[in-house]
Structure 1
Amino acid sequence: MQLLFLLLCLFVKPAFLQESQWAKLIFQIGAPVMPAGQTVKMFCMVSFVVNKYTWYRLNKTTWTAMNINNKSLTLIVTTKDSGEYKCSGYYNGTRYDSNAVNLTVVGSVYAGVAGLVLVLIAGVLLTLLLLWLWRQRAKEKAGQETLATNSAPAKGYTGPAKAPKGKSQAQAGNEGEVYINCGESNQAYSDLYPTYMTGDDTYATLG
């Protein structure tokens, strides 16, 4: 019986010890969501003395081993680094896997700066467009005011005189006008009343 008990202790104790071993993956620098260009450091915590570390990355449905034998994994991340990671530690020939963590790398810092620059440029262009429209409207308004001023009658001008009653517009327009006709005699005369004629084509006075 004692021999049987000793044999059981030899087999059960290592199994119990193996179950008490664990490995845990944590972010020492960074977080599960990081912008591109930043530093991320993952740390493989274990409860035992590790003979060898191995890091894995999930490739679609398969965990692919990375050629890193270190308790930490440091990356300056890009969008290509997005994915799931885990580490493992070997103790007496047995591998202990950690939990898996997901890393998501979002739009880079440069992309954010470029987006901000584009927004600023769009704002400047919109401002210039609004200023141009405002100037165009101001010019049109000024042109309309100038046209209205030029079209308005001069101060004190009452408009064209009306013809007296009983006279036609043609007669009223002919009053006060003098027509000078020059003949071969080079003597000036006007179409006046015949009673003032002193000779052929000669008048004594201008009426």
Structure 2
Amino acid sequence: MLLFSFLLFFFCESTVSFLTTQEQVSILYTYLETTAVTVEENLSPLQLVATPDYPVAEGQRVTMHCSAFTMPASVSWSWQRLENQTWQQVATGRDLTLTEPEQSGLYRCHAESRLSQTSMSPTHNVYIISIRATVGEKLGIAAFILSLLALIINLAILFWLSWQRFSGMLTASNTAAKGLSGAEKPPKGCLPQTDGDVYMNYVNTNQAYSDLDPAKMTGDNVYASLS
């Protein structure tokens, strides 16, 4: 009987000791889990960095990166854009790349923890310049090209007319030169043949002029007087 009482007391003491140790482990685990959750859910302010941080032309990349001093694994990242005075989610993750002019606007980064605690970054304005020609610009370019073509055509016509005129003058000059070179020259020492009567001064005390027509000669080297 005494032995049975001793064994019963030993068994009860061991059970109490085991329960006490298990409760201690449970309390310790709960404390560690609570501490970890507290650390994860204390989100630090977010920072937004854009590269490059100035307006760019269409086709160039604008990369935005969101960061924080504490970045728990249980936090989800997203990007929001202001559209019609309302913030709309446009992407997820810590990085966002933009290339199109239609993507210009005001952006911010958003982080949310496992227990729905949120943190927001400062806003950043992205401006991507469009280099595509508008309808008016296209019409202006077409008008300029047509004007340039008309100018080239006019210059070509003027050049052709000038060349035709110069060619005509050159042909006339060549013809005149050939005509002069082909004219018959009178024999040296002879008077040129002409149509009609030819007169010349004849020095004589009695007669002022003489008719040099051979048919009217009255003697050697003597001609009839003019009537």
TM-score of the superposed pair, with normalisation by structure 1:
0.47
User: More helix by proportion, 1 or 2?
Assistant: 2
The answer to which structure has the higher strand fraction is 1
TM-score under structure 2 length normalisation: 0.44
Larger Rg: 2
Q: Which has the higher contact order (CA 8 A, sep 6+)?
A: 1
